[in-house]
Amino acid sequence: MLIRALTLFRRAVPASRFCPCATGRTQQYCTSAKNISIRDALTSLDTGSNIRIRGWVRSVRSQKNHLFLHVSDGSSLQPLQVIANSDLNIRGLTFGCAVDITGSLEKSPSQKQKVELQAQRVEVVGECDPVDFPFKIKERHSLEYIRQFPHLRCRTNSFGSLLRIRSEAAAAIHSYFRDNGFVQIHTPIITSNDCEGAGELFQVEPSGNEHSSDKENPHFFSVPAYLTVSGQLHLEVMAGAFPAVYTFGPTFRAENSQSRRHLAEFYMAEAEISFIESLEDLMKVMEDLFKTSTEHLLSQCAEDMGLFHKFISPGQRKYDLTFISYTEAIDILSRNSEQFTFKTEWGCDLQTEHEKFLVKHCGNVPVFVTDYPYDLKPFYARDNQDQPRHTAAAVDLLVPGVGELCGGSLREERLELLKTRLARAGLEDTYAWYLQLRQFGSVPHGGFGMGFERYLQCVLGVKNIKDTIPFARSSRSCLL
């Protein structure tokens, strides 16, 4: 119905510079050339067909009678080779410019590609001054260099690949959870919980609210409101009504850190599973998520993944996960305590140096560390009620090159135990609603969170977390 209507509605077609193909009112005005993505062109078997491509020039090479272009439209890493007569070498045809080209798709005589486009028409739709443009033809710019240009870096091969991989990884995570019966919950970004009293929170008020006319209650939400550091408690709400839930969205830390592993704004996939009663069952989900997503990337983004593994770093390719208990980990570390700055006594938290050592010690594979000291873990971690070394049913997943990738635990579902612990911390009133979850139809449950950018660092071997996110935010830096 819309199509019929659109025909009535259609405006006059502006005159074209070269041929009717160039108008953007595509197929109906040009019966011969078919709009096609470069990805599709590269795998097309339909040689001899008349096609139209649009994209950006990645290289220009002029020979006596011929012009060779490489054109990319972002649908794939590999560009399409375009061959034209030298008389089509028009002004503005430079590295970085946007072009609109029609021609005939032909079998390529070269080994480098299966097909090439023999151009009949080349139009420059957007010029690009090679002097001002910060990226130069044939140069392989470092990730550090391109990071300075957050509005342009997607035009480089490496960051283009990163973004395609990131998009596929996000899809893989959603698919994994959906295929396994998880309901997606958009946990709130703005929250009045100050989660675990963890400090390092961003607070939120309307811009200009320092001049609030309401001196009695200056807060927009009536209460102080923060950016979420985790959707866990909200997912636990949902674990009281669904078999399994997940969230996958941004979380925040106001850390004054310039570490290559920290961002002020980063993504987490978090899951909560009802009726789960063992850490083993939880680890099975964590392992499945990691393996399924990574296998998806290796099969669906082989070309883009290859670029990282070839030019950046090998990334994670061994999938035999292993595990040790915290207590075993401390034993291992203690035997090598002279190598560490931080203490390796039972009861101390594992530091980055410890995590790295443990991963190496286990053969450079991902390592689950289980059953941490009860006193190291937040109030919601389930009490293992063991003695004399009192532990909680919590687990971290450490991975090569990154350290902590996931953290999870069984949650304390027993009302009395939880009440006692919250009361001891003076949090009984703050978490009255959370206690009610245990008062009304409480079930054993557990969950975990996986840092998405760290996951990408791990599988791609990217050193700096800032190179895994479209627009990085960290202390002193919020470009665009």
Site for its own copies in 403-462 (CB under 8 A): 413, 433-434, 436-444
Structural tokens at position 233: 């408690």
Scan residues 287-346 and list those touching its own copies (CB under 8 A): 287, 320-323
Among 265, 353, 404, 428, binds its own copies (CB under 8 A): 265
Scan residues 106-165 and list those touching its own copies (CB under 8 A): 125-129, 132-133, 150-152, 154-155, 160, 163-164
Among 171, 298, 312, 332, binds its own copies (CB under 8 A): 171
Closer Cβ to its own copies, 179 or 338, answer by number: 179
Among 46, 47, 61, 183, binds its own copies (CB under 8 A): 183
Torsions phi, psi for 202 (to 5 deg): -90, 135
Q: Is residue 229 within the footprint of its own copies (CB under 8 A)?
A: no
Classify 324 as helix, strand or coil. Answer: strand
Q: Is residue 179 within the footprint of its own copies (CB under 8 A)?
A: no
Cβ 225 to its own copies shortest distance, Å: 5
* Piece in contact with its own copies (CB under 8 A), picked from 110-118, 243-251, 400-408, 418-426: 243-251
Distances in Å between the Cα of 392 and the Cα atoms of 152, 186, 382, 420, 428 are: 47, 28, 5, 15, 20
Closer Cβ to its own copies, 150 or 347, answer by number: 150
Cβ 474 to its own copies shortest distance, Å: 8
CA 59 from chain center: how many Å? 30
Cis peptide before 400 (omega within 30 of 0): no
Classify residue 253 by burial, with Cβ atoms within 10 Å: 0-12, 13-18, 19+: buried
**Which amino acid, 386?**
D
Closer Cβ to its own copies, 85 or 256, answer by number: 256
Among 51, 60, 88, 225, binds its own copies (CB under 8 A): 225
Closer Cβ to its own copies, 220 or 340, answer by number: 220
Scan residues 29-48 and list those touching its own copies (CB under 8 A): 37
Q: Is residue 220 within the footprint of its own copies (CB under 8 A)?
A: yes
Question: Which candidate, 261, 269, 222, places its Cα nearest to that of 352?
Answer: 261
Distances in Å between the Cα of 24 and the Cα atoms of 15, 35, 53, 258 are: 11, 10, 11, 46
Cβ 152 to its own copies shortest distance, Å: 7
* Piece in contact with its own copies (CB under 8 A), picked from 68-76, 102-110, 139-147, 395-403: 68-76
Cα–Cα distance, 77 to 303 (Å, whole number): 7
Cross-sheet strand order for the sheet of 244-252: 183-184, 244-252, 265-274, 445-451, 403-410, 391-399, 367-373, 322-325
Which residues make Cβ contacts (< 8 Å) with residue 37, sequence separation at least 6? 53, 73, 75
> 440: number of CA atoms within 13 Å, CB side?
11
Cβ 467 to its own copies shortest distance, Å: 14
Among 174, 296, 361, 463, binds its own copies (CB under 8 A): 174
* Piece in contact with its own copies (CB under 8 A), picked from 107-115, 180-188, 346-354, 401-409: 180-188
Closer Cβ to its own copies, 81 or 191, answer by number: 191
Neighbours of 178 (CB within 10 A): 12
Is residue 313 within 8 Å of residue 463, measured between CB atoms?
yes
Scan residues 341-380 and list those touching its own copies (CB under 8 A): none
* Piece in contact with its own copies (CB under 8 A), picked from 82-90, 354-362, 454-462, 469-477: 469-477
Scan residues 195-214 and list those touching its own copies (CB under 8 A): 199-209
Cα–Cα distance, 80 to 71 (Å, whole number): 5
Among 17, 136, 186, 360, binds its own copies (CB under 8 A): 186
> 2: number of CA atoms within 13 Å, CB side?
0
The CA dihedral of 161, 163, 166, 168, to the nearest 10 degrees, is: -70
Among 71, 238, 359, 462, binds its own copies (CB under 8 A): 238
Among 73, 116, 355, 396, binds its own copies (CB under 8 A): 73
Closer Cβ to its own copies, 437 or 465, answer by number: 437
Classify 36 as helix, strand or coil. Answer: coil
Cβ 359 to its own copies shortest distance, Å: 16
Among 185, 282, 330, 462, binds its own copies (CB under 8 A): 185
